[in-house]
Amino acid sequence: MTVGEAEAKADYIYKVTHFVTWPEGALGAPDDPIRICVADPSDFERILSRILYRRTAQHRELDVHPFVEGRGARNCNVLFISGADLGAETEMIREAAGRPILTIGESPGFTRRGGMVGLAWNGEGLRLLINRRSVEERGLRISSQVLRLANLVGEVED
């Protein structure tokens, strides 16, 4: 992942957090941050932390942390999955299932495997893919403004 590509992905993650509605109480107390966990062996967590430093979404700070296997996804509000092998990615999506955790990934077919938001780099920029069924099953809602800009899974191949 190039620095420009990483910055574009970080910007998309930042923007998407503004347009997601979590179920009541899912984000904790009103002054709790939105916790973004990053499962990525590269430097993306550092880049995302730098870009989101002191930024807010929905009147909450954005807090970036590494995803720690064994603790699971239960401490995350957003889980970004990158660079994982297919088995590890599938397991992380499964861990987040049934919880109001927004899953974002970049591997081909991520949204078809149950991930919610896919970021597809096509060389010129990012394409946003959304699996509405996965979003709705976890009790989340994504604004129609974002849905209009995205390719919805089932309507286009990712």
The 10s digit of each residue's pLDDT in 92-103 is 898 888 899 999
139/26 Cα distance (integer angstroms): 10
Please give the Cα distance from 64 to 97 (Å, whole number).
21
Pick the CATH number of 3-152 from 1.10.3470, 2.40.330, 1.20.1300, 3.40.50: 3.40.50
Domain ranges of the chain: 3-152
How does pLDDT run across 119-157, given as a tens digit for each residue?
987 777 788 999 999 999 999 999 998 888 888 875 444
What pLDDT does residue 71 have? Answer: 65
- Distance from C-alpha of 60 to C-alpha of 105, rounded to nearest angstrom: 23
Predicted confidence (pLDDT) per residue in 26-82, tens digit: 999 999 999 999 997 677 888 899 999 999 999 999 999 988 776 667 789 999 998
pLDDT, tens digit, 9 for 90 and up, residues 1-26: 677 788 888 999 999 999 999 999 99
Q: Which residues have a Cβ under 8 Å from the Cβ of 66 and sit 6 or more positions away?
A: 37, 38, 39, 45
Can you tell me the distance from the alpha carbon of 59 to that of 44, in angstroms, rounded to the nearest whole number? Answer: 24
